[in-house]
Amino acid sequence: MSGFDWGAFGVNLGFAALTSLAVLLITFACALVRGLHRIVDIAWGVAFAAVALTTYVLSAGHGDDGRRLLVTALTMVWGLRLAGHIAWRGRGHGEDPRYERMLSKAPGSRAAYALRMVYLLQGGLVWLVSLPVQAAAYITGPMSALAAVGGLVWLVGLVFEAVGDHQLARFKADPANKGRLMDRGLWSWTRHPNYFGDFCVWWGLFLITCEAPAAAAATIVSPLVMTYLLTRGSGKALLERHMAQRPGYAAYQERTSGFFPMPPRTKGP
């Protein structure tokens, strides 16, 4: 039966908040120097990796070493891969239209508005969503089969996210596809393989935390918040509003699952 070190976990919460805040404030300073707020998207994955590493260091002697290493490695691989992909995708581009639209409506200082509505908000979300990673490091007792199940769900998510990103990048790199919709590979099974991948990653990490029911109960809000963001917040819902006017997108919606992967639908005779 696994236990949970509540006292040490409580201390970790404070240090994790400071770590997340530090990453986002450093990113904010860099954005002001460069005049480019889109780099905050790179900091999203970096901040998760930094929180995981901080937790690993602080949890030494408090939780099972195998579980500590597992959740740290899984989180850092996911976070750094995502950060690297976004950095590569955005090279040579100007400001992200999302941030330009948001900041054009800023009441007063654009910098102060960006700090409140983008950087501090994302820092808080990193801390909240990473709660299962923090908690898992303070679970005592050896890992069970549940950790393997969580790791497998995480792996499915990473594959969907990485393969989906790769397929989309190759599609966009071909001049023959200019103006066309990506509806091949994983994108023919779900309109959002990368968001579905994120969904699996964070539910997989939460499953590892479920080895201690008390820790799971304290952190269930995290995958629920991430699911909301992916499906109804800044993920799927926002992107589909942006894509709604693209020629052929309505037909793509009709034949392709909106989130969970399913075989493409075909019209009857």
| Rounded Cα gap, residues 224 and 129, in angstroms | 9
> What mean pLDDT comes out for the span 215-238?
90
State residue 1's pLDDT score.
58
Average pLDDT over residues 226-252: 85
Tens digits of per-residue pLDDT, 43-97? 999 999 999 999 999 999 999 999 999 999 999 999 999 999 999 998 888 888 8
> Residue ranges of the domains in the chain?
6-255
Does residue 264 carry a pLDDT above 70?
A: yes
Are the CB atoms for 206 and 222 separated by under 8 Å? Answer: yes
Long-range contacts of 201-204 (CB under 8 A, 24+ apart): 201/74, 201/78, 201/154, 201/157, 201/158, 201/161, 202/129, 202/132, 202/157, 202/226, 202/227, 203/153, 203/157, 203/227, 204/74, 204/150, 204/151, 204/152, 204/153, 204/154, 204/155, 204/156, 204/157
Mean of the pLDDT values across residues 142-160? 97
pLDDT attached to residue 268? 42
pLDDT value for 60: 97
- The torsion of the CA quartet 245, 250, 251, 255, rounded to 10 degrees, works out to 140
Candidates 34, 51, 89, 38; CA nearest to 205 is 51
**pLDDT category of residue 143 using cuts at 50, 70 and 90:** very high
Amino acid of residue 187: W
Considering the chain, what is the average pLDDT of its residues?
93
Average pLDDT for 108-119: 91
pLDDT in tens, 2-49: 789 999 999 999 999 999 999 999 999 999 999 899 999 999 999 999
For residue 106, the model assigns a pLDDT of 85
* 258 pLDDT higher than 60: yes
pLDDT of residue 269: 43
